[in-house]
Every structure is written in structure tokens, then in C-alpha cells.
Copies of this chain bind each other. A is one copy, B any other.
Amino acid sequence: MKEGPDIAQIGALIGDPARANMLAALMGGRALTATELAGAAGITLQTASSHLAKLEAGGLVSQRKQGRHRYFALSDDEVGLLLESLMGFAANRGFLRTRPGPKDPALRKARVCYDHLAGDFGVRMLDRLIAEGHVVVGGDEATLTAAGETRMAGLGIDVDGLRRQRRPLCRTCLDWSERRSHLAGSLGEALLARVIDQGWARRSEDSRAILFTPAGERAFLELFPLS
């Protein structure tokens, strides 16, 4: 009857508070069990199970069985991008669940956005990569230049290996706290992994924050200074 895609179904999936909380928890990038997600959303296990079935049917999350645990994760980074842009929209309009709490500054500084680095540090990293001619952005897609590939190799990142993955190497993702873009895609994931492997930072256990050590922060800022 009507033309075009049906946004109501997705809206309804995201529109339930319990489901939205579970999705927000999964934006942390870790795969979580149904029990953990139930805790995050403040509902019982049965209810969570029903919600997860709907989210899976809608293609927003996917599960992986491992022993008697079932780990749920966002099915795509595309889902992560959509959720982040929704959060940005909500933040601009004042749809906040609470006034900014003590954790908020840490989140604005550096946090994980599904699987890559977001917040001030994430935006700064992409800015620097663009300024140095290592990444070229065109629309929502981004490409790594030859110079950029050399630099990534210098950081110990196997770009060819990343290319073999099905997902795009580079994407931009709109940052809800900075209102500017940071780097997503498999390269964004690899860069965050590198930062953590180096011991420069670690993921917070109970939030999306990325906590830098003092030495790690110095090293990061030396690598990606203000343009």
C-alpha cells in the first residue's frame, strides 16, 4: 500500500525501554549472556529471553552458543552505527535518561562504540588521520591511502588481513557527544584493539568508558596530536 521501507518495525523494536537498555548494553561491544542482559535491563530472565528472540528475528542481534551459555551481540556494525546516530539525535533533543552523572566526563573523553573508539579521543584520532592524508573521507565511506596503509603497518596492523573480512575497512560514525565523526569499520576495531593490546587503556567493566593509563594517554596523544 505504501511505498518504501518500513521504519515502524525497527522503531518498535528499539522503542521498548527494556530492549533499548539491552541494545545500549551491547553497544559496549562485548557479547553478553541472556542473564547479564536481563540484569542490565532490570527484568527477569524470561522476559529478557522473549525480547532477545524479537531482536534476533529483527536482525538486530545474533547469538552464539557456547556450552550452556548463549552469548548475544549486535549482529552488525551497521546496527551499532544506527544506534549511535539515534543516541546523537536523542542527546541533541534532550532525551536523557538522567542528568549527566560522574561517569559522563569519562564517557565523553573515550568510550567504545560497539567495537571502535568514540568520544573526544576517537574524533581526534580520525581528524589526525585525515590531516596527515592517511584517510580520505567521501560521504559516509572512507578509504585508507597508500601512505595510511604504510603507517598502519608501522603500528602492527595487518591491513590485508582486515580487507579479507566481509565488512568495510573504513567507515565514519557520527559521535553523539562530539557531534562529529570518528572512525568505524574493521580498521577502527583494529586500532582500538591495538590501543588496548599496548596496555595504553582498558575497558571499564560496568560502562562503555575506555580508561587510559597516564602513560597510555601520553603515548596516544603523541601518536595523534591535535591537528
Contact = CB atoms under 8 A, between A and B. Distances in A.
A139 B180 CA distance: 7
Contacts of A97: 1-6
Interface string A94-122: 01111001011001000000000000000
A92 B95 CA distance: 27
Interface string A53-89: 0000011000000000000000000100011011111
Contacts of A176: 4-5
B16 A8 contact: yes
**How many of these chains are in the complex?**
2
A10 interface: yes
B93 A4 contact: no
A140 B84 CA distance: 14
A37 interface: no
A181 B139 contact: yes
Interface centre among A6, A78, A93, A174 (most CB of B within 10 A): A6
A125 to B, nearest CB: 12
B12 A24 contact: no
Q: Which 9 A-B pairs have the closest CB atoms?
A: A139-B181, A11-B14, A12-B15, A11-B15, A8-B20, A5-B90, A15-B15, A5-B91, A7-B86
Given A6-B96, A7-B14, A85-B85, 13 more contacts: A4-B107, A5-B90, A5-B96, A7-B90, A8-B19, A8-B20, A11-B14, A11-B15, A82-B89, A137-B139, A139-B180, A140-B140, A140-B181
